[in-house]
Amino acid sequence: MRSSKIRLYIFVGLKKNRPLLGQIPILLLLYVILLGMVKSYSQDVTHPLLVDPATQDFSQNPDLLDRILESPHGYFRFINKPFSRNICLEFQEMYDGSPSFNLHGDAHLEQYAVTDLGRGLTDFDDSSAGPAILDLMRFGVSLNLACKMNRWDEEFNNLFNTFLEGYEKALNQPSFEAPEPLVVSRLRSNFKYDNEAYYSWVNSLMQDIPRSELDSLMISMKTYTNTMMEENTQLSDSYFRVIKIGYLKMGIGSALDLKYLARCEGESEEPFDDVVLEIKEVRDISEIPCLIRAQKFDPFRILIGQARIAYQPFQHLGYFTFRDKNFWVHSWVQNYKELDLETSCNTIKDLQEIVYDIGVQLGRGHPKQIAAPLDFQLRQAQLRWLLQYSNSLIEACEGLSAEVEYSWGEFSKKIHLVKDSEAAK
């Protein structure tokens, strides 16, 4: 890691002809200011992944806080932006001069899902373009934490190398398809197609929206629905007619983002062919300095990322602007099962198949169309980069994993102190 330096330029109003003793109050004030600045700075530099819970508002989503406190990986999912920012700042020498790639932006094991459409990494809220090290290290730390959770610590190096093997295989053969992992067929075997239960569950997720906001939202959505109708002329005029809509409170990394869930009429008036749309505020990722698509309101970074990286992109991808904010939209499927770190993989071989599959997905998606017609040269450049830095990636992931565990512990202590103080009142 690069070393960090701080330079302070201070101008103090000390009187030239006044005795120094008489200026002690000014000196004491200066000392206090400097002490606070150094203390604040050293905390940021020493533990950049430690989030102060006092800066977060969990009052509207207490379940989110419980999920963060459950494990280091739950905390890791919550801190994606500071984590990515830290990668950009601390590992610049590893990616300086390397080309930019399509990025998933939040590639961790629990983003791997099996759905009615297929399998693979999902959830592209943080998708963008930049150095591939962001996805590789994000996934590596997730894998390391998962290994520790399952007491497979000694298997991390082999598993991460398996991930890189899949990644390299796809860079060499961009049409290569990984074998379907056994875990996928197990998760798919539990799929249920109970329309009544599914739509009842969807309705239960929607929370009431104030009338004035609802009316404005419906007007703004017309931009999206009109575009979808123009792109898909076979759809009926009432396909996107909204039957019910409400706030949506789900997820960990996206739990504090503004989201809506809408149930639309679909192909007919039959209630069980309705289309369910998730509408998500485009997250500001401009604080991550090494991205080339970090605009505050850029919805296309998400749409393009999903189109290029997902094995099977969700349907009805689009966006619209509402109250000066961009929202991206996609439709839900009835069955969606995310990988569970504790229960999905019964053996190391199960996890090995998953990480290989994710490696192939990123190896195919990272260079896809971003440098056309020079895709071959881009893939070759990344293969040379991996040859130089693969060992360094392993060491860095292990160090960052330890930092995540420490920060989670400190975060948890602060939360428990607050709870104990409130209970004592």
Q: What is the 3-state secondary structure (H, E, C) of the chain?
A: CCCCCCCCCCCCCCCCCCCHHHHHHHHHHHHHHHHHHHHHHHHHHHCCCCCCHHHCCCCCCHHHHHHHHHCHHHHHHHCHHHHHHHHHHHCHHHHCCCCCEEECCCCCHHHEEEECCCEEECCCCCCEEECCHHHHHHHHHHHHHHHHHCCCHHHHHHHHHHHHHHHHHHHHCCCCCCCCCHHHHHHHCCCCCCHHHHHHHHHHHCECCCHHHHHHHHHHHHHHHHHHHHHCCCCCCCCCCEEEEEECCCCCCCCCCCEEEEEECCCCCCHHHCEEEEEEECCCCCCCCCCCCCCCCCCHHHHHHHHHHCCCCCCCCEEEEECCEEEEEEECCCCEEECCCCCCCCCHHHHHHHHHHHHHHHHHHCCCCCCCCCHHHHHHHHHHHHHHHHHHHHHHHHHHHHHHHHHHHHHHHHHHHHHHHHHHC
39: pLDDT confidence band, cut at 50, 70 and 90?
A: very low
Greater confidence (60 vs 247) lies with 247
Specify the pLDDT at position 33.
45
Do 113 and 6 reside in the same domain of the chain?
A: no
Indicate whether 404 and 310 sit together in one domain. no
310 with 220, same domain: the answer is yes
Q: Residue 265 pLDDT more than 80?
A: yes
Residues 3 and 21 in one domain: yes
Q: How many domains does the chain have?
A: 3
Identify whether residues 181 and 65 lie together within a single domain.
Answer: yes
Q: Which of 135, 139, 79 is nearest to 404 (CA)?
A: 79
Instruction: Return d(Cα 408, Cα 79) in angstroms, integer.
Output: 10
Reported confidence tier of residue 419, pLDDT bands at 50, 70, 90? confident
Q: Both 75 and 140 in a single domain?
A: yes
pLDDT at 299: 93
State residue 173's pLDDT score.
97
217 and 126 within one domain? no
| Mean pLDDT value across residues 8-30 | 48
Q: 104 and 214: one domain?
A: no
- State the Cα–Cα distance between residues 322 and 192, nearest whole angstrom: 35
Residues 135 and 62 in one domain: yes
Same domain, 208 and 318: yes
pLDDT reported for residue 13: 44
**Distances 364 to 101, 211, 357 between C-alpha atoms, Å:** 11, 45, 11
Mean pLDDT of the region 346-368: 97
Query: Please, which pLDDT band fits residue 289 given cuts at 50, 70 and 90?
Result: very high
Which pLDDT score is estimated for 42?
A: 37
Do 262 and 216 fall into the same domain? Answer: yes
State how far the alpha carbon of 113 is from the alpha carbons of 7, 125, 298, 342, in Å.
47, 15, 25, 15
Q: What is the arithmetic mean of pLDDT over 153-166?
A: 97
Same domain? 331 vs 206: yes
Range of the domain at 232: 195-336
Q: State the pTM of this model.
A: 0.86
Give the number of other CB atoms < 10 A from CB of residue 236.
12
- Per-residue pLDDT tens over the stretch 65-111: 999 999 999 999 999 999 999 999 999 999 998 999 999 999 999 99
* Residue 63 binned pLDDT confidence (cut-offs 50, 70, 90): confident
